[in-house]
Amino acid sequence: MINLQTQLEASWRKVLMTEFKNFCHLTNFINAETKTIYPPKKFIFNAFSLCHFSQVKVVIIGQDPYHGEGQANGLSFAVNDGVKIPPSLRNIFKELHADLDIDIPISGNLERWAKQGVLLLNSILTVQANEAASHRNKGWEQFTDAVIKQISEQREKIVFLLWGNYAHQKGKFIDLNKHYVLKSAHPSPLSARNFLGNKHFSKTNQYLKDCGKIPIDW
């Protein structure tokens, strides 16, 4: 049994106090789930643990976690060391190489991004094993909407990278007068031709520099 409210990192608990009414429902749902879920319960809020509220500089929004064994680690698009890099992340790395001439990483572990202020936020934070989108419409979407709203309202000059139509829909919660929003197609192989070449990594770092912030060492 887990208590999601107490599992969430303290700085995020403070700004999401108004969402606590939803935690009871989500906690009950997760604890009642009889099938294997990913990521492991202790990593459901990994993105928040590695990137505290005051540290956020960039937000990358994914959909739901990978549903294969050993893949999901609580960070959008990421996998742990030693896990085969999924196609979407491989295309992200291709764009990173083309944009900033950075060698394509051999690991899909993105903790190094998170620790620099990149919130790797999935819209849905859990999934049943081998069942994509199986935890859709269970309450996670409202929770992550609230996360984006609070970042938009309480922070300034944050970069939001919205890749794909699903992420684009989250853009309605972002104040465009305060933040920098970059949109493109999703890095999935199905739409990668419209993702590659977006230069979002260099654009992000230029904006951060212009705002007097330290750029991300991608």
Q: Catalytic site residues? A: 64
Residue 95 CA to residue 89 CA, distance in Å, equals 10
DSSP string for residues in the chain: ---HHHHS-HHHHHHTGGGHHHHHHHHHHHHH--S-EES-GGGTTHHHHHS-GGG--EEEEE-S---STTT--SSTT---TTSPPPHHHHHHHHHHHHHH-PPPPS----HHHHTTTEEEEESS--EETTBTTTTTTSSHHHHHHHHHHHHHHH--S-EEEEESHHHHHHGGGS-TTTSEEEEE--SSTTTGGGTTT--HHHHHHHHHHHTTPPPP--
Query: What are the C-alpha distances in Å from 183 to residues 16, 61, 68, 75, 79?
Result: 26, 11, 28, 20, 23
